[in-house]
């Protein structure tokens, strides 16, 4: 296992590289790090792949810009293609989870020549971005931004109950709350999003006077859990806190704040079709499945014509690759080998 630092898209990016062979780029979400793929790295290496697990912009040992405008889809894709450039990799299989999955879909759309195939965990292509008729400018033919801004939608929902997507929009409160309690936050959010958790309890809380830690319950079971040890959590906390509490979670928070950026500057995302081979995996108990509409999964084949399959991972929540690594590894390797054999 080699830890490397490379310059990509004007920032310093950290990645862990293992093995030789066809390249597999692993892109984590929030909360996550390269370490989120600790169970996939050796499995892919042993199967004959070159694995590249990055710390995404704003995380771990990569640079952490503080301007949310720098976290839009196209900038994130430029980071990742820059990492591939630095390693001399022309094309790769892109595997992503959560916001990392969004980055992989965006790469398939905007940097198709760099993408062999996409495997997405937890985030189907086009969530919340259904096609609309007459969505193009009559003169230029370019797509127009869809409806109202995401932040406006979040603010409307937050009138009914607490919504973290709305809470995260203002710079400052979330940084202070989560940065001053990093271990408590990470332990609670990992539990809440797991197969045993209860993330959707946030709907029971009013927005006024409520912070994110208020809606995240203490885990019902103390560490260690079957899929996370005390040492795992210690490592995650230390990596997030490398640059201090103010920027500990800037990567994830900025990705939420950049949703308006994507709405304005990437109107094709979710509406234009993606023509690379793809696989979608999701924990069967992932609360994201309860937040998104079933139609998102039903209509994905229309926008992803080469979708090879959708698989729900038993006894897994949002962190399927960590909660049920063997099942995820089997699905990924079957998909990758199948594409190489075509």
- For residue 41, the enclosing domain spans 2-341
The answer for 143, left when phi > 0, alpha when psi is -120 to 50, beta otherwise, is beta
> Per residue in 238-266, pLDDT tens?
999 999 999 999 999 999 999 999 999 99
- At residue 126, the pLDDT reads 79
| Below-50 pLDDT ranges, the chain | 129-134
Q: Are 337 and 93 in contact (CB under 8 A)?
A: no
**Number of compact structural domains in the chain:** 1
User: What is the value of pTM for the model shown?
Assistant: 0.94
Q: What is the pLDDT of residue 127?
A: 67
pLDDT digits 0-9 by tens, 265-314: 998 998 899 999 999 999 999 998 877 766 778 889 999 999 999 999 99
In the prediction, which pLDDT does 132 show?
Answer: 45
**Residues acting as catalytic residues:** 98, 318
Question: What integer pLDDT is reported at residue 293 of this predicted model?
Answer: 63
List the CATH number of the domain containing 243: 3.40.50.1820
């Amino acid at each position: 296992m080699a830890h490397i630092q490379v310059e990509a898209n004007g920032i310093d990016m950290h990645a862990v590289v293992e093995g030789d062979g066809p390249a597999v780029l692993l892109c984590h979400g929030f909360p996550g790090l390269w370490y989120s793929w600790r169970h996939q790295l050796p499995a892919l290496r042993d199967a004959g792949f070159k694995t590249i697990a990055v710390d995404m912009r704003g995380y771990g040992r990569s640079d952490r810009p503080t301007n949310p405008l720098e976290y839009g889809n196209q900038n994130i894709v430029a980071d990742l293609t820059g990492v591939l450039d630095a390693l001399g990799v022309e094309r790769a299989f892109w595997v992503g989870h959560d916001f990392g999955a969004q980055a992989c879909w965006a790469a398939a759309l905007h940097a198709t020549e760099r993408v062999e195939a996409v495997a997405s965990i937890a985030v189907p292509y086009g969530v919340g971005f259904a096609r609309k008729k007459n969505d193009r400018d009559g003169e230029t033919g370019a797509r127009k931004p869809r409806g109202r801004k995401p932040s406006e939608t979040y603010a409307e929902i937050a009138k009914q109950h607490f919504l973290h997507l709305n809470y995260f929009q203002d710079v400052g409160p979330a940084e202070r709350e989560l940065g001053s309690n990093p271990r408590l936050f990470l332990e609670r959010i990992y539990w809440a999003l797991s197969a045993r958790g209860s993330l959707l309890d946030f709907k029971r809380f009013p927005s006024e006077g409520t912070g994110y830690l208020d809606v995240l319950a203490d885990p019902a079971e103390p560490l260690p859990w079957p899929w996370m040890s005390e040492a795992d959590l210690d490592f995650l906390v230390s990596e997030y806190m490398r640059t201090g509490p103010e920027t500990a979670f800037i990567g994830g928070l900025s990705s939420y704040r950049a949703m308006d950026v994507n709405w304005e500057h990437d109107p094709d995302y979710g509406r234009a079709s993606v023509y690379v081979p793809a696989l979608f995996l999701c924990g069967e108990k992932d609360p994201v499945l309860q937040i998104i509409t079933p139609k998102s999964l039903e209509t994905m084949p229309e926008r992803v014509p080469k979708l090879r399959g959708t698989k729900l991972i038993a006894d897994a929540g949002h962190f399927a690759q960590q909660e049920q690594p063997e099942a995820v590894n089997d699905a990924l390797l079957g998909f990758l080998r199948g594409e190489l054999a075509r």
